[in-house]
Structure 1
Amino acid sequence: MKTVLITGSSKGIGLETALAFGRAGYKVFATMRNPEKATDLENIVLTENLNISLYKLDVNNDASVSKCFKTILADHTIDVLVNNAGIERHGSVEELAMLDFKAIMETNYFGVLRTTKSLLPQMRKKKNGCIINVASVSGHISNSPLGAYAASKFALEAISEALAGEVKPFNIRVAIVEPGIINTQMASDISVDDISLYPHSKRMAGLFSASLKTPTPPTLVADKILEIAESNTWKLRHPVGPDAEPFIQWRKSLTDEEWVDWSAVNDDEWYEAVQNTFGLDAR
């Protein structure tokens, strides 16, 4: 029986990914900071009799990662690691607290390094494995008020690319999943209209709200993650969602200066550009 360890499994993409693998016949180690709060996942596991076990894991904490992996690896080998745990904080560079910048990097970047480094020796020894890192379209596009979040995803993209080259000789596959705007609590939180000295927070809130009117479910991302694990693909990057590739290609079509200018235009021009480019009324 194949095995998978998934971080951040209590809700959203992580929860759906745990269910997707469980339904596909995997032994699933669903990890999260507070397993006692994962009642939705527990109920589905019991109802469907899935081979999913919940474990306490805080990717921000060295001791927590060490304890969790030591417990699991004592009796099991892991075929697939899905680094899904992530957080989001939004705000302008001036207004966002330093603690928020640090928290985002701690979870979205250093957390992935902690779990990956804990599992690599086993995968390298058996010369087999698959590591799937959930990044974001924001790993290609940086704009306010998501600069801090984008920085963590840019970093994740970079380290994943380096890792892929390091471990391929050991038959370990690395894949980066890049969701667009997905119907999760994280996306809904961004849609909150924060009061800011800068107009970008309100603009982005409108963009997310408009996109979520025709929501893309987290099951779409979960299905892609399972597909990558089940395949023999060595493809590195996998945009997911109807807006993911269009967003990435849109950014590529602009020079850096054009991108900066687009972010700096007045509200009317910005909203009109979003309407013309994506058909979304973000007002």
Structure 2
Amino acid sequence: MDNVKQGGFKRVWLITGASRGIGALIAQAALADGNAVVAAGRNVSAIVERLGESDALLPVALDVTNEAQAKAAVQAAVEKFGRIDVLVNNAGFGLLGAVEESADKDVRRMYDTNVFGLLNITRAVLPTMRARRSGHVINISSVGGYRAGAGFGVYCSTKFAVEGITEALHAELAPLGIHATVVEPGYFRTEFLDASSLVVAPDVIDDYDETSGTVRRKAVQISGNQPGDPTKLAAAMVTLVDASNPPLRLPLGTDTLAAIAAKNEYVTQETETWKALSASTDFAS
């Protein structure tokens, strides 16, 4: 048991939302690469059913919105494997609807998971990483964390928050030998657009039919036909963790690369157009 606790594995990963989708695939890729995995999710039996049983796998019950459960999951990980080298904050879900169509209860529940839940588990893990002056925090964002769009505005706002949190973590943790990366997947062929991962706002306002309404209809058509291969995404996570100098941001998918380029161009052009007014607000020298 001491050998299992202290060594024998390449790294120890803690992955949230690991019972299905991208989280489960990342767990499988990490295990196949010789790592130990603490697979966290609300349904432990679903984790075991998906990932099997192994000395390298520790399934733990975790609702990320519960801070006590986050601390307990970290304690269980350290007790079994002695350390946590990689944290993958993957748990989250989406909300499809115009901003005005998005109900308060749905918005708050999504923030509780996507933002406050991420903070719960990150705060629980960081003391162990700081003690060892080593580790890598990986926060799963989205193309929508870099560029928001009609129909996903409030969801994108949660991922904008994740981006900001990760930028700050990158600055705060780098002097301590700990990496922080925000991963920005585009549309990957997962369950994200299914009811299991996506809340669709029940209120529909006709005035938004050409904007968010169009996105609602496209989401149905895209589901199951997304261009991204989730197995390749999972493999990319292993490559990311193996990098000696990992990036702050890692876009995944050609659709994300195109969206980032388009936004950067738009921001550059708009900034140039309004530069005189922007610069006019300083005190006169």
Instruction: Give the TM-score normalised by the residue count of structure 1.
Output: 0.82
- Between the aligned residues of both structures, percent identity stands at 33
Question: Unaligned stretches of 5+ in structure 1?
Answer: 259-283
Partner secondary structure for residue 152 of structure 1: helix
Match of 2:243 in 1: 231
Q: How far is the alpha carbon of 1:243 from its aligned partner?
A: 0.9
The number of residue pairs the alignment matches comes to 254
Question: Unaligned stretches of 5+ in structure 2?
Answer: 1-8, 271-285
Evaluate the alpha carbon distance shift between residue 52 and residue 39 of structure 1 in structure 2; reply closer, same or farther with a 3 A threshold: closer
Residue of 2, 13, 33 corresponding to 1:4: 13
Evaluate the alpha carbon distance shift between residue 211 and residue 96 of structure 1 in structure 2; reply closer, same or farther with a 3 A threshold: closer
Q: How far apart, CA to CA, are the structure 2 residues paired with 1:32 and 1:191? A: 19
Residue of 124, 127, 131 corresponding to 2:130: 124
Match of 2:280 in 1: none
Partner secondary structure for residue 15 of structure 1: helix
Residue of 253, 258, 263 corresponding to 1:246: 258
2:212 is aligned with 1:204: no
Match of 2:162 in 1: 156
Q: How far apart, CA to CA, are the structure 2 residues paired with 1:40 and 1:74? A: 23
Partner secondary structure for residue 85 of structure 1: coil
Q: How far is the alpha carbon of 1:102 from its aligned partner?
A: 0.9
Q: How far apart, CA to CA, are the structure 1 residues paired with 2:19 and 2:27? A: 9
Instruction: Give the TM-score normalised by the residue count of structure 2.
Output: 0.82
Q: How far apart, CA to CA, are the structure 2 residues paired with 1:177 and 1:85? A: 13
Match of 1:134 in 2: 140
Q: How far is the alpha carbon of 1:252 from its aligned partner?
A: 2.3
Q: Highest CA radius of gyration, 1 or 2?
A: 2
Match of 1:33 in 2: 42
Moved more, 11-20 or 59-68: 59-68
Moved more, 162-171 or 220-229: 220-229
Cα-Cα RMSD:
2.4
Q: For residues 219-241 of structure 1, what are the alpha-carbon distances to aligned partners after superposition, in whole Å with 9 as ceiling and x for unaligned? A: 12211211111111231100001
Evaluate the alpha carbon distance shift between residue 163 and residue 225 of structure 1 in structure 2; reply closer, same or farther with a 3 A threshold: same
Evaluate the alpha carbon distance shift between residue 250 and residue 188 of structure 1 in structure 2; reply closer, same or farther with a 3 A threshold: farther
2:191 is aligned with 1:179: no
2:77 is aligned with 1:72: yes
Q: How far apart, CA to CA, are the structure 2 residues paired with 1:93 and 1:192? A: 12
Evaluate the alpha carbon distance shift between residue 192 and residue 69 of structure 1 in structure 2; reply closer, same or farther with a 3 A threshold: closer
Contact kept in structure 2, 1:193 and 1:201, CA below 8 Å: no
Partner secondary structure for residue 139 of structure 2: strand
Q: How far apart, CA to CA, are the structure 1 residues paired with 2:66 and 2:261? A: 37
Moved more, 69-78 or 112-121: 69-78
Match of 1:63 in 2: 68
Q: How far apart, CA to CA, are the structure 1 residues paired with 2:193 and 2:176? A: 37
Contact kept in structure 1, 2:98 and 2:150, CA below 8 Å: yes
Q: How far apart, CA to CA, are the structure 2 residues paired with 1:60 and 1:256? A: 38
2:228 is aligned with 1:216: yes
Q: How far apart, CA to CA, are the structure 1 residues paired with 2:264 and 2:190? A: 26
Match of 2:95 in 1: 89
Q: How far is the alpha carbon of 1:206 from its aligned partner?
A: 4.2
